[in-house]
């Protein structure tokens, strides 16, 4: 699932190309997406921003297009044309390169035509993504944005972090992944943050001392910034707005490294366990309970 760094990369890419353009057309084969068509057609794109893992495309006339890419979705900016394959029609990139050649970019389920001749496409293999148009001045009423503080916000202080975790109970990995507590962190980056901070993913949040919480807090931004610099993790199916892979999967500390030696060179070998149905990767040497 695209997490904060991956969504941030797409936002930064789209900010360079979308503002000022007008929406001129709309195609989808997902029934729930069609409700947005009449609300966004012929409206001008004013800005693009991120709220947690949500992508918000602010339009003219008090309208915002909210997109959550969910597990396998990613937005791309380019041009597509219909082609026939085994008697079926499908959308194929009209631009050569990764959008055409990478098989992870072939699951097109939404196309938004733009006034400059380009399109905004949603690729989503499992069709779990959410797309809906809302009134901009009512955005804060949506449960989609009832989320915790953003760890990349300049105002995300240690005091705000402590307050977010106050009176919470349970495994720290699950707490870090709870969007109502802290926005944007998921399976990959919770493992990475805990590896860097040196805490076992099953350690109970209520057992943390103030000093341990500070150590955890100070590990969050460095991991997220490192992932953004690497343009996100394409460990599975994430691609950026131009269909390109990120590079973070090549420099991950713990996630996806089961059976490999710990990069701290402490003699540990990365292990994987299940927590609430999700995988957790950690070093048993420096991430003790």
CATH number assigned to the domain comprising residue 265 = 1.10.8.50
Percent of the chain surpassing pLDDT 70:
99
What pLDDT is recorded for position 86? Answer: 65
Looking at the structure of the chain, the number of domains it has is 2
Q: How many CB atoms lie within 10 A of CB 10?
A: 26
For residues 19 and 13, what is the distance between their CA atoms, to the nearest angstrom?
A: 11
* Whether residue 96 sits in one domain with residue 9: yes
What pLDDT is recorded for position 289? Answer: 82
Considering the domain boundaries, does residue 287 fall inside one?
A: no
pLDDT at 99 over 80: yes
* Whether residue 262 sits in one domain with residue 241: yes
What pLDDT is recorded for position 98? Answer: 95
C-alpha 151: how far from chain center: 13
* Whether residue 125 sits in one domain with residue 11: yes
User: Binning pLDDT at 50, 70 and 90, where does residue 236 land?
Assistant: confident
> What is the residue-averaged pLDDT of the chain?
96
Q: For residue range 58-80, what is the model confidence (pLDDT) as tens digits?
A: 999 999 999 999 989 999 999 99
What Å distances lie between residue 75 and 99, 106, 131, 172, 189, CA to CA? 11, 12, 11, 31, 21
* Whether residue 193 sits in one domain with residue 116: no
* Whether residue 197 sits in one domain with residue 118: no
- 50, 53, 173, 239: the catalytic one is 53
Q: For residue range 238-260, what is the model confidence (pLDDT) as tens digits?
A: 999 999 999 999 999 999 999 99
Catalytic residue check, 2:
yes
Considering the domain boundaries, does residue 153 fall inside one?
A: no
- 2, 98, 149, 151: the catalytic one is 2
For residues 68 and 237, what is the distance between their CA atoms, to the nearest angstrom?
A: 15
* Whether residue 136 sits in one domain with residue 191: no
What is the average per-residue pLDDT within 125-135? 94
What pLDDT is recorded for position 274? Answer: 96
Catalytic residue check, 3:
yes
Domain boundary (145, 168, 203) is at 145
* Whether residue 235 sits in one domain with residue 103: no
**Coil, strand or helix: which one is 27?**
strand
What Å distances lie between residue 31 and 54, 63, 110, 129, 141, CA to CA? 20, 20, 11, 12, 24
DSSP category for residue 261: B
C-alpha 34: how far from chain center: 23
* Whether residue 202 sits in one domain with residue 130: no
Catalytic residue check, 126:
no
Q: Are 149 and 52 in contact (CB under 8 A)?
A: no
Look at 127 and 45; give whichever has higher pLDDT: 45
- 120 contact partners, CB below 8 Å, separation of at least 6: 14, 18, 75, 76, 77, 111, 112, 114
Can you give the pTM of this predicted structure? Answer: 0.95
CATH number of the domain that 43 lies in?
3.20.190.10
Q: Residue 72: which domain range?
A: 4-145
Q: Measuring CA to CA, which residue among 259, 266, 257 is closest to residue 285?
A: 266
User: Binning pLDDT at 50, 70 and 90, where does residue 84 land?
Assistant: confident
Q: For residue range 146-178, what is the model confidence (pLDDT) as tens digits?
A: 999 999 999 999 999 999 999 999 999 999 999
- 15, 34, 160, 278: the catalytic one is 278
Q: For residue range 36-55, what is the model confidence (pLDDT) as tens digits?
A: 999 999 999 999 999 999 99
Bridge partner residues of 80 (DSSP): 93
Q: Are 60 and 81 in contact (CB under 8 A)?
A: no
User: Binning pLDDT at 50, 70 and 90, where does residue 89 land?
Assistant: confident
Alpha-carbon dihedral 282, 284, 285, 289, rounded to 10 degrees: 100
* Whether residue 133 sits in one domain with residue 110: yes
Catalytic residue check, 53:
yes
For residues 221 and 157, what is the distance between their CA atoms, to the nearest angstrom?
A: 11
């Amino acid at each position: 699932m695209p997490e904060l760094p991956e969504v941030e990369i797409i936002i930064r890419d789209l900010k360079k190309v979308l503002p000022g353009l007008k929406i001129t057309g709309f195609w989808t084969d997902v029934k729930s997406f069609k409700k947005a068509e009449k609300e966004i057609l012929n409206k001008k794109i004013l800005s693009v921003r991120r709220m947690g893992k949500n992508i918000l495309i602010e339009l003219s006339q008090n309208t915002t297009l909210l997109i959550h890419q969910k597990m396998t979705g990613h937005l791309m900016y380019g041009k597509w044309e219909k082609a026939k394959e085994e008697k079926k029609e499908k959308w194929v990139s009209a631009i050569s390169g990764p959008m055409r050649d990478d098989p992870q970019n072939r699951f097109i389920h939404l196309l938004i035509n733009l006034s400059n001749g380009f399109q905004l496409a949603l690729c989503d293999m499992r069709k779990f993504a959410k797309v809906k148009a809302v009134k901009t001045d009512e955005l804060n009423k949506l449960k989609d944005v009832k989320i915790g503080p953003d760890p990349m916000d300049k105002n995300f202080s240690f005091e705000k972090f402590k307050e977010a975790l106050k009176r919470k109970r349970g495994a720290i990995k699950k707490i870090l992944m709870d969007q109502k507590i802290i926005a944007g962190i998921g399976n990959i980056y919770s493992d990475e943050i805990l590896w860097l901070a040196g805490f076992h993913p099953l350690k109970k949040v209520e057992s943390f001392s103030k000093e341990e919480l500070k150590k955890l807090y100070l590990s969050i931004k460095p991991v997220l910034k490192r992932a953004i610099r690497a343009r996100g993790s394409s460990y599975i199916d994430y691609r950026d707005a131009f269909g390109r892979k990120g590079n973070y999967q090549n420099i991950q500390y713990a996630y996806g490294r089961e059976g490999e030696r710990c990069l701290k060179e402490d003699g540990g070998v990365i292990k994987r366990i299940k927590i609430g149905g999700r995988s957790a990767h950690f070093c048993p040497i420096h991430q003790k309970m």
